[in-house]
Chain A
Amino acid sequence: MVSKMLVLKFPKMAVQKPVVCNLARDFDLTFNILNATIFPRKEGQMVLQLFGTKANFDRGVEYLKDQGILVQSTREEIARNESRCVQCGWCTAVCPTGALYIKRPELEVVFDEEACSVCKLCVRTCPYRAMELVPAEDYPLA
């Protein structure tokens, strides 16, 4: 399975098309829209978290490109500095997607990068400054 945060840039003509609906219906992908600025006859942008099998994901991205949409991965991602992290749990208070969660009964803090929406709330919340914003490794979308 693939889960990836994507930034979609819609040219003026593409905003009329129900592309996200098609991603779900035709490619069996699940999506979560985190941010969208879409207006008729204007360039638009959408931040989308997309999950599915690798094959469907790649086909879905191919479909988006065929529609004239510019597909980019998010520019930044969150990385955990393991030597700074003390596995306390402060970050789990603010993580909106559950990417940071407590494994029980060990009471260790797990960071599931796939589930991270790069909201950055953990960066300032972690008292040990273990959560770092780093440039994203580009997903090979081509």
Chain B
Amino acid sequence: MKKTKIKKTIAEINDKIRSGDAVVVTAEEIIDIVRDNGPVEAARQVDVVTTGTFAPMCSSGAMINFGHFKPTIKASKVWFNNVPAYGGLAAVDCYLGATALCEEDPLNRVFPGEFNYGGGHVIHDLLAGKQVHLRAESYGTQCYPNRSVEKMITLDDLPFAVLSNPRNGYQNYNCAVNRSKDTIYTYMGTLKPRMENANYCSAGQLSPLMNDPQYRTIGVGTRIFLGGGQGHVAWHGTQHNPGVERTGLGVPTKPAGTLWVMGDLKTMDPEWLRGVSILGYGTSLAVGLGIPIPLLDEDMARQTAVTDEDIVTQIVDYSTDYPQGTGRILGRVNYAQLKSGTITIDGEEVITVPLSSIKKAREIATLLKDSISRGEFLLGEPQIPLPVA
């Protein structure tokens, strides 16, 4: 273990949170504190740094148990507002995915499709207190004779509803451009021809995994702000890929770590989980995610002081290289450049378009800071570290 001047434990910081003495700042505020006072002094003064991000995160959904019917049913096919959920589980358990689409959706038959309603919208409607039409079908068994049920339900009626997102909080993401002659419609937004715009999707210096790039404090069991409620990191996420190229600070220069997050849907808020319709692509769920990072020592202070200039990403052509999986990149750019409004690719000035809401990310970091300062949010002790390269 490396010797550090400051040494704190999560238990000690939780004691300070309980007594109302913890010093909490956001991932933007810590930048100046470390620059002015140095990392040692910053780690001495500050206990927790809060992060935040708000953007569509497709690998999201809800694990739902809708309770037994009379007579009982072993629901093998399930729909919520005509959006199919996966029913290949026990009798009344199912998983409603954010990108599942309403059965009558014309999809991309009239291109680009609008995708007005899907799983993400059902989750939002449930949170907003709306009634949702549940329908289930089965083949009938001696213990579960019912073959078809339908019912209007609300979130309160559901015995169990847990948001379970197998891949959220992507540590870094591509900057997307289109070098073809036609507009393309992607999950990275509308990309106009001849590199007219460059779209990017990260909260940059506010982004959770950018502030603990080597996963020293974020692991299985870390308590998080999730969709307006409290959740946990349940596992590393799908496509978690820590072994990519990194800068001196350990910050990855391309998509790297991911998180599987879970939390009780009933504690969440429709403000922070919103169904989205992405033109030509499909539906998704915009997720508000915030992670508190304990400043255990000066190394963590240094990591959380990461700025947009320090975070570099790759520019990828979504007209050919992304769909064909060539792995070719057109160049590198940092988030300060992306946030400035224009970047230069091959000598050409290209307008940048953010897809991740910095305003909402900032609000989340501030909400989390306030709830920790009030003693309402204690840090979760990570039980299993995320895989590192």
Contacts and interface: CB of A to CB of B under 8 A. Distances in A.
B203 to A, nearest CB: 10
A125 B190 contact: yes
Interface in A86-108: 86-90, 92-94, 102, 104-108
Contact of B286 (A86, A89, A104): A86
B357 interface: yes
A86 B54 CA distance: 9
Interface string B114-126: 1010000000000
Contacts of A128: 274, 276, 286
Contact of B199 (A93, A104, A107, A129): A93
Interface string B37-60: 000000000000000001110000
Given A88-B55, A129-B277, A93 B360 contact: no
Given A87-B360, A90-B355, A104 B339 contact: yes
A93 B353 contact: yes
B57 to A, nearest CB: 12
A104 B340 contact: yes
Interface in B92-149: 112, 114, 116
Contacts of A105: 339
Interface residues of B, number: 30
B274 A102 contact: no
Contact of B357 (A88, A93, A129): A88
Given A89-B353, A125-B190, A127-B56, A107 B339 contact: yes
Contacts, number: 65
A108 B361 CA distance: 12
Given A107-B339, A107-B358, A124 B279 contact: yes
Contacts of B116: 129
A106 B114 CA distance: 30
A104 B340 CA distance: 8
Given A93-B189, A124-B114, A127-B56, A87 B279 contact: no
Interface string B331-348: 000000001110000000
A96 B284 CA distance: 26
Nearest to B356: A88
B190 A127 contact: no
A94 to B, nearest CB: 5
B305 interface: no
Closest 5 CB pairs of A and B: A127-B276, A89-B354, A107-B358, A88-B357, A87-B359
Given A86-B357, A89-B354, A90-B190, 8 more contacts: A87-B358, A88-B357, A93-B353, A94-B190, A124-B112, A125-B190, A127-B56, A127-B278
